[in-house]
A and B are shown apart, each in its own frame.
Chain A
Amino acid sequence: MPDVIMPRLSDTMEEGELSRWIKQVGDEIHKGDVLAEIETDKATMDLEAFDNGILEQLLVVTGALVPIGAPVARIGDGSNIVADGAEPAAPAATPAPAVPATTPDASAPAPSAPAPSGTSDPATSATPTGELRTSPLARKIGREHGIDLHSIVGTGPQGRITRTDVDAAIADRETGTPTPTPTSAPAAQPETGAAAQSATAPGATATSATPSSGATPGGPRTATDSVAVPVSRIRAVTARRLTESQAVPHFFLTRIVDVERLVAFRTEVNASLTALGTKVSLNDLFVRASAMTLRAHPAVNASWGAGVILRHPHVNVGVAVATDDGLLVPVVVDADQKSLSAIATETRALAGLARSGNLSLAQMSGGTFSISNLGMFDIDSFTAVLNPPEAGILAIGAAKDVPAVRAGALVTVPMVTMTLTADHRVLDGAVAAAFLRDLAILLEDPLRIVL
């Protein structure tokens, strides 16, 4: 019977964290039973059994990061049960061992390496493939430069470490930038002291994990009293994605919008919606206005796609939500087709799901543009980092009263500063500027937003 393997649960997933075992060794398993919960870079999902039988062995401990395709458990007829007395959660300070716990050569001391059983056939006691997936060229370059490949996360097919990844690790070491992705943090890593270098990044750095280059000049230096804070998967993925995003050539355009009528309009709309129990926020108006403007500017509703520009038929607007675990961007699908109240209701529901950790993968997928609003923190203006592969993200500041002359009198008018970050491979300045101009015009004439 085949081993239960870590499935690919999302397009961008490279590994999954086995966050909780639901079935235990010895349990009878039926096809479709949920064996465990897997936390991917996007969401927590169920790991289902594809076979009937007895759960004979757990091959990874709770909290382990397991590459796609690697076995996590064994289901059989019950004759090869490997008693796994202790299946403790990985120590709290451990982001997660990079390899299944039974790998003998893992840098991490396995908290619960199963004892060899009396019935051991060589296959079951052998390394259950915690091996790194790397290209030969990556290994060769790694050897030549003293890079420990365990300190790198591969971006190739099925997470394979390729030349690009090793070259990036070498470049990071030379510039003193810690590798942005966690892998081989020792399981028993203390929270302070020698391991403190990982404080600046989720996990060990290339340098710290490389035995032969302990004294690499230019390696990261941090104060010895820094505290290593373990990070969630969301934070680790955010770190990696945003680092990738910085490779995108981008530019910023800023525009100040008069929101006097927008604010008044919102008050008026909410008064009429009171009976329905729905409330519309300024942000909802920005989502709806952006979606309508994107529909009119298909060049902005696009992505760079390895040599071509992909124009997207749907206008799906992501709304950045801060959660305790990190930033999430739920997506309002077809936002240009939805009414203001529908957008308000949906955004509120999605934000709630995001904060409670129940956002599904689908609800975070397929965005074509994002909006980040820090108005509630009274931020005047800011720039947002692109959310690849989207070509644009709009950063919205707080409405501020600004002096203005109206009908000969000095009055104060609420103004919002919004800044568009654009992927220059997809958009040129004039195209992005036209988009921002039309968005501003729409916001200043809010009745058109609901037409």
Chain B
Amino acid sequence: MTTDIATTRTITYRQALNETLRAELEHDEKVFLIGEEIGVFEGSYKITAGLLEAFGPDRVLDAPIAEEGFVGAALGAAMLGMRPVVEIMTINFSLIAIDQIVNHAAKMRSMFAGQVSIPLVIRMPGGGGQQLAATHSQNLEVWYAHIPGLKVVAPSTPADAKALLTAAIRDDDPVIFLENLSLYSAKGEVPDGEQIAEIGKAAVVKPGTDLTIVSYSRGTTTALEVARQLEAEGLSIEVVDLRSLRPLDRDTICASVQKTGHAVVFEDDWLSYGIGAEISATIGEGVFDFLDAPVRRVAAAEVPLPYAKSLERAALPSSADLARVVREVLNLAPVSSASIDN
């Protein structure tokens, strides 16, 4: 991050995004916003509140319900030098636009030998837990994190939402900006003034010596909660917030596990082929000799997410799941069981 961090304010993740969009619209006239219901309705999650009124319909464009169309339009504008910021209502709807994202946005610069760059940002929230059922509750970020030519960032705090969104808008490559439905109302301290994160850098958000939890987005908040809870029991847990899924900051992950010897990945996506699989492989390849236990992953149950509240809750990875697996990795007795092994 750059510039002064002398003063901070406690605001929501939503407000941090809103203020950053406003600041970037002011900072660069090439920046414009496009998406469904982001203008008059101010966005399904009110991220764009007040922006149509402030910047007018040339800078804040309401698009028809046609993701492939407006992502393609933004892509074309980016090729001609504009800096579009697209809002897709949720990551689930990005599947309609995936050909524009994967086959065009990600590849233009390489296929045309650098003659064009694609300064495109696609903002979209993922995440379950809102009883939006199977098709509207997915965590598909790994689909994009898999694609060379894209950058994928996933802020977990209001401060990172600001610094990473600013960085994404000013980046000359296409950036998938992953938000999370359950984080929008989360509050945190945000430094005033211009803040630009370095894309591709993870953060050790809590230092520790016994075990590393690697997570991102909403998962980081759960990881911190579990780490603090276990700290009360005398365990020292380090939490690494990835912040960027591509590029992946393998050095920070490996440095942490080299220190702790134990790692658990906490991810909201499904287990198989998920973010945790990549992190586990990174740790195995990077610091095999420092591992004192197998890397474990805590992820969503491998089912289409149920609508029923009780089933939805059971399918999503919880803080209790994470705490249990951390204990297993550290070979500690489970807390809930009062059995005597004598």
Expressed in whole angstroms, the Cα–Cα distance for A408 and B92 within the complex equals: 95
In the complex, whether A78 has a CB less than 8 A from a CB of chain B is no
Residues 304 to 341 of chain B near chain A (Cβ within 8 Å): 327-328, 331-333, 335, 338-341
In the complex, whether A202 has a CB less than 8 A from a CB of chain B is no
Which residues on the B side are within 8 Å of A388 (C-beta)?
A: 342
Of the candidates A12, A155, A308, which one forms a contact with B341 in the assembled complex, judged by CB atoms under 8 Å apart? A12
Q: How does the 8 Å CB contact mask read for A129-140 relative to B, with 1 for contact and 0 for none?
A: 000000111111
Expressed in whole angstroms, the Cα–Cα distance for A156 and B233 within the complex equals: 20
Asked if B338 and A156 sit within 8 Å, CB to CB, the answer is: no
Asked if A137 and B290 sit within 8 Å, CB to CB, the answer is: yes
Is the interface on chain B under 10, 10 to 19, 20 to 34, or 35 or more residues?
A: 20 to 34
In the complex, whether A100 has a CB less than 8 A from a CB of chain B is no
Which residues on the A side are within 8 Å of B335 (C-beta)?
A: 305-308
Expressed in whole angstroms, the Cα–Cα distance for A389 and B234 within the complex equals: 19
In the complex, whether A157 has a CB less than 8 A from a CB of chain B is yes
Expressed in whole angstroms, the Cα–Cα distance for A11 and B234 within the complex equals: 24
Could you tell me the distance in whole angstroms from the C-beta of B229 to the nearest C-beta in chain A? 10
Asked if A312 and B341 sit within 8 Å, CB to CB, the answer is: no
In the complex, whether A163 has a CB less than 8 A from a CB of chain B is yes
Could you tell me the distance in whole angstroms from the C-beta of B278 to the nearest C-beta in chain A? 19
Which residues on the B side are within 8 Å of A364 (C-beta)?
A: 342
Of the candidates B232, B332, B342, which one forms a contact with A12 in the assembled complex, judged by CB atoms under 8 Å apart? B342
Of the candidates A136, A156, A311, A367, which one forms a contact with B289 in the assembled complex, judged by CB atoms under 8 Å apart? A136
Expressed in whole angstroms, the Cα–Cα distance for A145 and B332 within the complex equals: 26
Asked if B292 and A137 sit within 8 Å, CB to CB, the answer is: yes
Asked if B331 and A157 sit within 8 Å, CB to CB, the answer is: yes
Residues 150 to 192 of chain A near chain B (Cβ within 8 Å): 155-157, 160, 162-163
Which residues on the B side are within 8 Å of A305 (C-beta)?
A: 333, 335, 338
Return the chain A residue nearest B327 by Cβ.
A306
Asked if B340 and A135 sit within 8 Å, CB to CB, the answer is: no
Q: Known contacts being A155-B331, A157-B331, is A163 close to B261, with CB within 8 Å?
A: yes
Which residues on the A side are within 8 Å of B327 (C-beta)?
A: 306
Expressed in whole angstroms, the Cα–Cα distance for A310 and B332 within the complex equals: 14
Expressed in whole angstroms, the Cα–Cα distance for A367 and B328 within the complex equals: 24
Which residues on the A side are within 8 Å of B290 (C-beta)?
A: 136-137, 140
In the complex, whether A57 has a CB less than 8 A from a CB of chain B is no
In the complex, whether A365 has a CB less than 8 A from a CB of chain B is yes
Return the chain B residue nearest A316 by Cβ.
B340
Return the chain A residue nearest B338 by Cβ.
A310
In the complex, whether B288 has a CB less than 8 A from a CB of chain A is yes
Could you tell me the distance in whole angstroms from the C-beta of B310 to the nearest C-beta in chain A? 27
Asked if A156 and B293 sit within 8 Å, CB to CB, the answer is: yes
In the complex, whether A387 has a CB less than 8 A from a CB of chain B is yes
Q: Known contacts being A310-B338, A367-B340, is A140 close to B331, with CB within 8 Å?
A: no
In the complex, whether B291 has a CB less than 8 A from a CB of chain A is yes
Which residues on the A side are within 8 Å of B291 (C-beta)?
A: 135-137
Q: Is the interface of A mostly helix, strand, loop or mixed?
A: loop
Q: Known contacts being A135-B292, A138-B292, A155-B331, is A307 close to B342, with CB within 8 Å?
A: no
Asked if A389 and B233 sit within 8 Å, CB to CB, the answer is: no
Expressed in whole angstroms, the Cα–Cα distance for A68 and B234 within the complex equals: 30
Which residues on the A side are within 8 Å of B331 (C-beta)?
A: 155-157, 162
Expressed in whole angstroms, the Cα–Cα distance for A12 and B331 within the complex equals: 13
Could you tell me the distance in whole angstroms from the C-beta of B288 to the nearest C-beta in chain A? 5
Asked if B233 and A306 sit within 8 Å, CB to CB, the answer is: yes
Asked if B234 and A137 sit within 8 Å, CB to CB, the answer is: no
Expressed in whole angstroms, the Cα–Cα distance for A312 and B341 within the complex equals: 13
Asked if A366 and B342 sit within 8 Å, CB to CB, the answer is: yes
Asked if B289 and A390 sit within 8 Å, CB to CB, the answer is: no
Of the candidates A137, A160, A163, A365, which one forms a contact with B340 in the assembled complex, judged by CB atoms under 8 Å apart? A365
Return the chain B residue nearest A12 by Cβ.
B341
Which residues on the A side are within 8 Å of B342 (C-beta)?
A: 12, 364-367, 387-390
Could you tell me the distance in whole angstroms from the C-beta of A160 to the nearest C-beta in chain B? 8
In the complex, whether A417 has a CB less than 8 A from a CB of chain B is no
Which residues on the A side are within 8 Å of B332 (C-beta)?
A: 306
In the complex, whether A112 has a CB less than 8 A from a CB of chain B is no
Q: How does the 8 Å CB contact mask read for B100-122 relative to A, with 1 for contact and 0 for none?
A: 00000000000000000000000
Residues 77 to 102 of chain B near chain A (Cβ within 8 Å): none
Which residues on the B side are within 8 Å of A312 (C-beta)?
A: 338, 340
Could you tell me the distance in whole angstroms from the C-beta of B232 to the nearest C-beta in chain A? 8
Which residues on the B side are within 8 Å of A311 (C-beta)?
A: 338
Which residues on the B side are within 8 Å of A136 (C-beta)?
A: 288-292
Could you tell me the distance in whole angstroms from the C-beta of B237 to the nearest C-beta in chain A? 13
Could you tell me the distance in whole angstroms from the C-beta of B270 to the nearest C-beta in chain A? 25
Return the chain A residue nearest B235 by Cβ.
A307
Expressed in whole angstroms, the Cα–Cα distance for A139 and B339 within the complex equals: 32
Expressed in whole angstroms, the Cα–Cα distance for A160 and B341 within the complex equals: 18
Q: Known contacts being A366-B342, A389-B341, is A308 close to B292, with CB within 8 Å?
A: no
Which residues on the B side are within 8 Å of A94 (C-beta)?
A: none
Could you tell me the distance in whole angstroms from the C-beta of A191 to the nearest C-beta in chain B? 34
Which residues on the A side are within 8 Å of B340 (C-beta)?
A: 303, 310, 312, 365-368, 389
Q: Known contacts being A312-B340, A366-B342, is A307 close to B233, with CB within 8 Å?
A: yes
Return the chain A residue nearest B330 by Cβ.
A306
Which residues on the B side are within 8 Å of A310 (C-beta)?
A: 338, 340
Could you tell me the distance in whole angstroms from the C-beta of A410 to the nearest C-beta in chain B? 47
Return the chain A residue nearest B329 by Cβ.
A157
Q: Known contacts being A307-B335, A308-B335, is A162 close to B292, with CB within 8 Å?
A: yes
Return the chain B residue nearest A241 by Cβ.
B342
Could you tell me the distance in whole angstroms from the C-beta of B178 to the nearest C-beta in chain A? 33
Expressed in whole angstroms, the Cα–Cα distance for A312 and B340 within the complex equals: 9
Which residues on the B side are within 8 Å of A389 (C-beta)?
A: 340-342
Which residues on the A side are within 8 Å of B233 (C-beta)?
A: 306-308
Return the chain B residue nearest A313 by Cβ.
B338
Which among B288, B293, B340, B342 has the highest number of chain A CB atoms within 10 Å? B342
Expressed in whole angstroms, the Cα–Cα distance for A137 and B258 within the complex equals: 9
Expressed in whole angstroms, the Cα–Cα distance for A11 and B341 within the complex equals: 6
Which residues on the B side are within 8 Å of A313 (C-beta)?
A: 338
Which residues on the A side are within 8 Å of B292 (C-beta)?
A: 135-138, 162-163
Expressed in whole angstroms, the Cα–Cα distance for A56 and B234 within the complex equals: 51
Q: List 26 A-B contacts (CB under 8 A).
A: A135-B292, A136-B289, A136-B290, A136-B292, A137-B289, A137-B291, A140-B289, A156-B293, A157-B331, A303-B340, A306-B233, A306-B332, A306-B333, A306-B335, A307-B233, A307-B234, A311-B338, A312-B338, A313-B338, A364-B342, A365-B340, A367-B342, A388-B342, A389-B341, A389-B342, A390-B342
Apart from the given pairs A310-B338, A366-B342, 20 other A-B contacts in the complex at a CB distance below 8 Å: A11-B339, A11-B341, A12-B342, A135-B291, A136-B289, A136-B290, A136-B291, A137-B261, A137-B289, A157-B328, A160-B293, A162-B292, A306-B233, A306-B332, A311-B338, A313-B338, A364-B342, A366-B340, A389-B341, A389-B342
3 closest A-B pairs by beta carbon, nearest first, are: A307-B233, A11-B341, A137-B292
